[in-house]
Amino acid sequence: MPRPLVVGNGKLLINFDDRLHMRDLYYPYVGQLNHVGGHFSKLGIWVQGRFSWLDEDGWKRQLGYDRESLVTDVHAHHEHLAVSLQMADGVHQRDPIYLKKVCVRNHANEAREIRLFFNHDFSLNETEVGDTAVYDPILSTVYHYKRNVYMMANGKTPEGGIDQFSVGIKRFNYAEGTWRDAEDGLLAGNPIAQGSVDSTISFRLLLQPHEEKTMYYWLCVGDSYDAVRTLNQYVLDNDPDRLLGRVAVYWRRWVNKEERDFADLPPEVVHLYKTSLLLVRTQIDQNGAILAANDSDILQFNRDHYSYMWPRDGALIASAMAKAGYTGTVAPFFTFCAQALNEDGYLQHKYNPDGSVGSSWHPYVVDGEVQLPIQEDETALVLYALWEQYKSGKQIEDCQALYATLVRPAARFLLEYVHPTLELPKPSYDLWEERRGIFTFTSATVYAGLMAAARFAQLFGDDRRHKRYEDGAKSIRAAMEKHLYDPGIGRFLRGIYLRPDGGVEKDFTVESSLYALFALEVFPVDDPRVQRTMEAVKKSLRVDTEVGGFARYQGDYYFKKSHDIARVPGNPWIICTLWVADWEIAKAKSLEELQEPKNRLLWVVRHSLQSGVLSEQLDPYSGAPVSVAPLTWSHATFVATVLRYLEKVNELR
């Protein structure tokens, strides 16, 4: 299930599903230690003897965000209960405080008492073993704790603070949890429980006919009781409504800090551009990790997740954000990579947000032969992105500091990890992490990485390394022309594989990532070989259904929805469709020729969720999101394509 609403600040990230359950809560790293873990913390309402959770079918829900901010704008209406709720959720821009505002309207012709119930199904440090939930009579709060994680819940209405509470056992010995206790409108008041526990608190409102009143709820997260007690007092002292208003203002200022002429782009494209900037920001940890996605429902498919920093994804995302004017936001990413760099100069498959090495399926040994279990494009693209960062922000001091710790060791590895006779990068895993060989995409990134290193060497007056890096890049490009271009078919190959007898096997599969040939400036956009390659991508990877879009490659099996490969070569991916738009933008020679890529931007808008969230891929028949949502890479690629479009408009004008 996608996560259509996400709020966060770089240290606290909270995700909601389309039925308004809190499904993920990450702290103290974005993407590491999910203290909800996909369970259902939810909101319920009691009205004059009738009870309903907001996930039930009687509710009509509208999910979105307040204008240009990371504060939600959610509406829920229940006709039979004659009640409606307007909700705003946000995370404080600096502190780990989740704030919620609920405006409750009584649509009945009589005065009524309405009670709101907040259930907390936490599994602190990703396990329910050893948790404690307790009512604090001094502060009139309920908090959960284990070791160095504390979560304190509180709130207020015009009638007062927490009206009822109960803590108890969940999912153990037939105990379902205190959420069941809430369904008669009364909570038992049990003050403490340990082990697999949950808690529920309620708030009371007295409303006249057709009257509306507002209540506030907040959750303070910290590493000690003193920390959450201090945060709770901070909310009480500063007023939760004023704090939530300041959160909205902050993000509105943040997303509009760059003055930009959006030319002829429709308002809905501009809106998704800004939404994408905000959503990308929620997926960036304050210590530098840029997370691929944090939708924990992916766990049910393979018992692993997307909450990792893939250097490739992170580099392309950082590049897009830098071009959009957010160099400061992504600057810590490059420090993270410098610290993670292997002593031999390469980055590994993926990393946890705390900098430790993430899980991997790339082996060190295949058929008795030792190999390096890496995707070389991940190392190369970080250098490319760092140069893009420098071009955008001109932060020469930061780049000078990274020259010795990141640029030089990584460039040395790229120069050395070259096949002695082919003069191409040695075999590594492709960007989709599925096959090992020598790929056009990987080779293009190595060229771009070495050119970036050469430019840094020139910037810092390191003439000897400048020549070495530039010569290495040109050698890779020449080898690509010799071995990765096939004159018989008139286009570039996906890649080649080394046979045991020393020969080479060609991979003729049409692959969307071949866009790197022009996007990374390996070859000019008007090179006939590039043109024929990209025309093959447009022809062979188009999804011939009403949904449309473009697949990753011919015969893509990941979350496969169709066996009709002729019409559906694979599920349509957001990033792959945008790569086609990038090609159309790059080759356009008139403003009229930009209509097609503009239509692709509108295609992305149409296939976003109501809140603006973009998934990884789509069902080719229904258009429903497939795999994780939001996918950070999808949003960053939309940002990058919009910027390329605007650059082209200015160029053609």
Domain co-membership, 429 together with 315: yes
Boundary (domain end) residue, out of 444, 473, 507 = 507
- Tell whether 424 and 339 lie within a shared domain: yes
Q: What is the pLDDT of residues 158-214, one digit of tens each?
A: 999 999 999 999 988 888 999 999 999 999 999 999 999 999 999 999 999 999 999
Residues 214 and 313 in one domain: no
**Would you say residue 651 has pLDDT above 70?**
yes
Distance CA(464)–CA(472), nearest Å, equals 13
For 592-627, write each residue's pLDDT tens digit. Answer: 999 999 999 999 999 999 999 999 999 999 999 999
The predicted structure's pLDDT at residue 215: 98
What is the average per-residue pLDDT within 350-367? 96
Q: What string of DSSP letters covers 429-440?
A: E-TTSS-EEEEH
CATH code of 229's domain: 2.70.98.10
Does the residue 62 lie in any domain?
yes
Query: Does residue 168 share a domain with residue 41?
Result: yes
245 and 311 belong to one structural domain: no
pLDDT of res. 6: 98
188 in any annotated domain = yes
* Residue 289, domain member (yes or no): no
Q: What is the CATH number of the domain that holds 333?
A: 1.50.10.10
227 plus 311 within the same structural domain: no
Task: Report residue 303's pLDDT band, with 50, 70 and 90 as the boundaries.
Answer: low
Banded model confidence at residue 298, pLDDT cuts 50, 70, 90? confident
Residue 246 pLDDT class (50, 70, 90 cuts): very high
Is residue 325 located within the same domain as residue 239? no
Q: What is the pLDDT, as a whole number, of residue 302?
A: 63
Residue-wise pLDDT for 456-476, tens only, equals: 999 999 999 999 999 999 999
Quick one: pLDDT at residue 592?
Answer: 97
pLDDT of residue 174: 81
Is the pLDDT at 301 greater than 70? The verdict is no
- Could you give the 3-state DSSP secondary structure of residue 344? coil
What's the CA gap between 98 and 18, in Å, rounded? 19
Q: Are residues 341 and 240 in the same domain?
A: no
State the pLDDT confidence band at 271, using cuts at 50, 70 and 90.
Answer: very high
Has residue 375 been placed in a domain?
yes
What's the rounded Cα separation, in Å, for the pair 179 and 75? Answer: 22
The predicted structure's pLDDT at residue 175: 84
Domains: count for the chain: 2
Give the mean pLDDT of the chain.
97
Same domain membership, residue 397 and residue 307: yes
Determine, yes or no, domain membership for 575: no
State yes or no: pLDDT of 535 exceeds 70.
yes
User: Looking at residue 614, what is its pLDDT?
Assistant: 98
Q: What angle do CA 263, 267, 272 make, to 5 degrees?
A: 105
Q: In the chain, what's the furthest Cα-to-Cα distance?
A: 86
399 plus 480 within the same structural domain: yes
Q: Which domain holds residue 14?
A: 5-255
- Quick one: pLDDT at residue 300? 61
Q: What is the pLDDT of residues 48-106, one digit of tens each?
A: 999 999 999 999 999 999 999 999 999 999 999 999 999 999 999 999 999 999 999 99
- For residues 359 and 219, state if they share a domain: no
Please indicate, yes or no, if residue 203 is contained in any of the structural domains: yes
Alpha carbon 531 to its chain centroid, in Å, reads 32
Q: Is residue 260 part of a domain?
A: no
Residue 155 sits in the same domain as residue 10: yes
Evaluate whether residue 282 is within a structural domain.
no
pLDDT confidence of residue 297 = 86
Give the number of C-alpha atoms closer than 13 A to the C-alpha of residue 527, restricted to the C-beta side: 18
Task: State how far the Cα of 445 lies from the Cα of 338, in Å rounded to an integer.
Answer: 18
